[in-house]
Amino acid sequence: MSDETPLAGDLLVRIGAIMFLVGAAATLATVAPLFLGTEPLPSVFYWVCMLMGLGFLIAAAGVIRSAAAQRRRAAAASPPSAPSAT
C-alpha cells in the first residue's frame, strides 16, 4: 500500500478509469457480432458503450481537480512576493 495521501481528484480518476474499461469491453462485445456474423446484442449494450465516453470525462475532471488542488497547495506554500520598490 502507498504511503502517499490521496489527492483531491484521485477517486474521480479511478472511477472514471473503471467506467471507461467497462464501456470499452461493452464496445468490443457490441462490435464482435458484426465480424462474427452472429445476432446483434440487445440495445442495452449500446447504452453501456456510452460509459466509455462518460468515464473519460469523469477521469479528466479528476485530473483537472487534482491539478487545481496541487496548484493551490503550491501557491500556499510559496512566500508572498514583496512589493517592488520604485
Q: What angle do CA 75, 80, 81 make, to 5 degrees?
A: 120
The closest alpha carbon to 53, from 13, 9, 19, 12, belongs to 19
Tell me the per-residue pLDDT of 49-74, one tens digit each, with 9 for 90 and over: 999 999 999 999 999 999 888 888 88
* pTM for the full predicted model: 0.77
Q: What is the mean pLDDT of the chain?
A: 86
State residue 69's pLDDT score. 86
